[in-house]
Amino acid sequence: MSARLTPARLITLPAHVRRPGYDRARVGSAIVHIGPGAFHRAHQAQLIDDILETDPRWGIDVVALRSRDTLDALRAQGGLFTLKCLHAGTQTRVIGSIRRAVGSQDDPWGTLMALAGPQTRLITLTVTEKGYCLAPDGALDLTHRDIVHDLAHPATPRSAPGWLVAALARRRSTGAAAPVIMSCDNLEDNGRKLAQAVITLARQTDPSLAGWIEAQAVFPRTMVDSITPASDPAFLDAVEAELGVRDEAAVQREAFTSWVIEAADAEPVEVLGAGGAIVTSDVEGHALVKLRVLNGAHSALAWTGLAMGQASVAGAMSDPWLRAGIEALIRDEILPGLAAPDGLNLETYAASVLTRFANPSIVHRLSQIAWDSSQKLPVRLLGTVAANLAAGRPVEHLARAAAAWMRFVVRSARAGADLTDPLAAILTRTALSCSDDPDTDTARFLALPSVFGAALAQHPHFRAALSRGYRDILALERGAPPAPTVSEPHP
């Protein structure tokens, strides 16, 4: 194995590799990011890297609440990592915007000082939907085990809301201004939900703190978009062969990228807008279109493609039956319930999504998309289901996607495979009780209140469509794609 990527080895990289053009020693730390996973490094960290070329204040300190792998890799590499943008003319660059990596478990004081320090002007988060500890109705789940812990031990929190409350409490006590706090996760109305979660948690122990947060902190809504495949060993080996150094934090993404931020009278938002983010008053419209079209179709393709033995998004899109089903899902059941936000043509956007899915340069594993599906299904697809049922629009393709998720869980449980999902234990028990009967199996999953709300679980049209979809997925598993599904309005 080659030597590791470090600041000292930047000069040894091949000439075609772009590297930071600014003095990293002069970079400040105005941003703290919670959750330094691949998406943040491939997306926000790259935009900040561009900003640092002209404004050195906006360097990033990253905080990891759980996993140590990325943390250790970034520490060993002085915060540097490689980004490959995969398209016709692949570009390789080294990103230098991350100054420091802190782990909340091994350095809680350092975590608090990063979040609460007066130099921090912006706190961003990519912790996935499950990281906000929300109940199905979108409010903070006060019974969540991490929230229960944080209420009992506020000085050593575990959850993202818990750390934000602890940091805001310290900032108020020291006279530091409240920062801009920005969720960058695929969570509908993410800014409002994060604000409510933080204020609700603070109110449990200190109502005055909750009032201060509500009055002083800014929680803009955002929408982020860029397909970011996992960095598997083959990808890391290819980066090593290209660079001549080993980079355990390297990431890859498609060329397309978008960061939409709600307009706010705050310098961090203005800086990001000048750096390439879209600042608008209609983030909700952009976010809803992305959540339902791109994310919803992505998950539907993953669950259905896995039933057919497909491994990647591009591979699944090469199957005519799967591609036709995804096109019909978007055209007939998702787009009719959406209003186009300013500056966005829905048909054009949908076509771009299909093109991006079919990009052969991106090897995005369906199994990765299927992680944490019990959290993704409600926000990515079931909201569209509920809206369509209320308006009398069809739900056949949507129901089949939900059934494909159920069968994914059943296959995983029967194979004894570890299910990457916060509800893994109850999902496995549910799956092992299934008998391959569409009506009884779907009823068992519909009885999970943390996934399906009562109204949806009891809706007769949805239950019938779900059973039909389940039967279709069973056929796929047996190698016999069913006849094309027809989207028809219901009474």
Lowest-pLDDT choice from 37-46, 340-349, 379-388, 400-409 = 340-349
Q: Are residues 244 and 315 in the same domain?
A: no
**Domain boundary residue among 281, 305, 334?**
281
Domain that holds residue 170: 7-281
Query: Strand, coil or helix: what is 91?
Result: strand
Q: Are residues 187 and 327 in the same domain?
A: no
- Give the CATH number for residue 471: 1.10.1040.10
Tell whether the model's pLDDT for residue 146 goes beyond 90: yes
Q: Are residues 171 and 231 in the same domain?
A: yes
Q: Are residues 423 and 351 in the same domain?
A: yes
> Is residue 422 a contact partner of residue 130, using CB atoms and an 8 Å limit?
yes
Q: What is the pLDDT of residues 14-47, one digit of tens each?
A: 999 999 999 999 999 999 999 999 999 999 999 9
Cα(200)–Cα(210) distance, rounded to whole angstroms? 7
Q: Are residues 263 and 298 in the same domain?
A: no
**Domain boundary residue among 263, 281, 299?**
281
Band of the pLDDT at 87, cuts 50, 70, 90?
confident
Q: What is the largest CA-CA distance in the chain?
A: 68
pLDDT at 238: 95
Q: Are residues 273 and 296 in the same domain?
A: no
* Rounded average pLDDT over 50-77: 95
Q: Are residues 198 and 273 in the same domain?
A: yes
pLDDT at 60: 98
Band of the pLDDT at 90, cuts 50, 70, 90?
confident
Higher-confidence residue of 488 and 22: namely: 22
Lowest-pLDDT choice from 269-278, 316-325, 361-370, 378-387 = 361-370
182, two tokens: 């920005």
How many domains, the chain? 2
Q: Are residues 275 and 418 in the same domain?
A: no
Band of the pLDDT at 491, cuts 50, 70, 90?
low
Q: For residue 38, give every residue at least 6 positions away whose Cβ sits within 8 Å of its Cβ, in sequence order, or none.
A: 228, 230, 231, 251
pTM: 0.76
In a domain, 482, yes or no: no
Cα(232)–Cα(410) distance, rounded to whole angstroms? 26
Q: What is the pLDDT of residues 263-290, one digit of tens each?
A: 999 999 999 999 999 999 999 899 889 9
In a domain, 220, yes or no: yes
In a domain, 322, yes or no: yes
pLDDT at 485: 67
The terminus-to-terminus CA distance of the chain in angstroms comes to: 64
Quote the percentage of the chain above a pLDDT of 90: 87
Higher-confidence residue of 321 and 287: namely: 321
* CB count in 10 Å sphere of residue 351: 13
pLDDT at 434: 98
Higher-confidence residue of 229 and 53: namely: 53
Sequence-ordered strand ranges (E) for 126-244 = 180-183, 222-225
Tell whether the model's pLDDT for residue 431 goes beyond 80: yes
Q: What is the pLDDT of residues 101-110, one digit of tens each?
A: 999 999 999 9
Q: Which residues pair with 225 in a beta bridge?
A: 258
pLDDT at 187: 85
In a domain, 216, yes or no: yes
Tell whether the model's pLDDT for residue 88 goes beyond 70: no
Q: What is the pLDDT of residues 438-456, one digit of tens each?
A: 999 999 999 999 999 899 9
* Rounded average pLDDT over 389-408: 97
Q: Are residues 109 and 151 in the same domain?
A: yes
In a domain, 2, yes or no: no
Q: For residue 365, give every residue at least 6 positions away whose Cβ sits within 8 Å of its Cβ, in sequence order, or none.
A: 229, 230, 232, 311, 312
pLDDT at 360: 87
φ, ψ at 35 (rounded to 5°): 100, 70
Query: Strand, coil or helix: what is 219?
Result: coil
Cα(207)–Cα(298) distance, rounded to whole angstroms? 41
Tell whether the model's pLDDT for residue 486 goes beyond 70: no
12, two tokens: 């040894």
Quote the percentage of the chain above a pLDDT of 70: 98
DSSP 209: H
Q: What is the pLDDT of residues 154-184, one digit of tens each?
A: 999 999 999 999 999 999 999 999 999 999 9
Band of the pLDDT at 136, cuts 50, 70, 90?
confident
Number of H-type helices and E-type strands within the chain: 23, 11
Cα(288)–Cα(225) distance, rounded to whole angstroms? 12
**Domain boundary residue among 265, 281, 297?**
281
In a domain, 137, yes or no: yes
Annotate 247-285 with DSSP letters as a single string: -TT-EEEES--EEEEE--S-HHHHHHHHTTPEEES-HHH
Q: Are residues 24 and 109 in the same domain?
A: yes
Cα(311)–Cα(234) distance, rounded to whole angstroms? 15
Q: Are residues 141 and 273 in the same domain?
A: yes
Average pLDDT, the chain: 94
Which helix (H) or strand (E) covers residue 438, if one does?
helix 438-446
- Give the CATH number for residue 122: 3.40.50.720
* CA proximity to 94, closest of 15, 36, 39, 26: 15
* Rounded average pLDDT over 350-365: 90
In a domain, 1, yes or no: no
Q: Are residues 312 and 236 in the same domain?
A: no
Q: What is the pLDDT of residues 239-260, one digit of tens each?
A: 999 999 999 999 999 988 899 9
pLDDT at 481: 72
Q: What is the pLDDT of residues 210-227, one digit of tens each?
A: 999 999 999 999 999 998
In a domain, 486, yes or no: no
DSSP 485: P
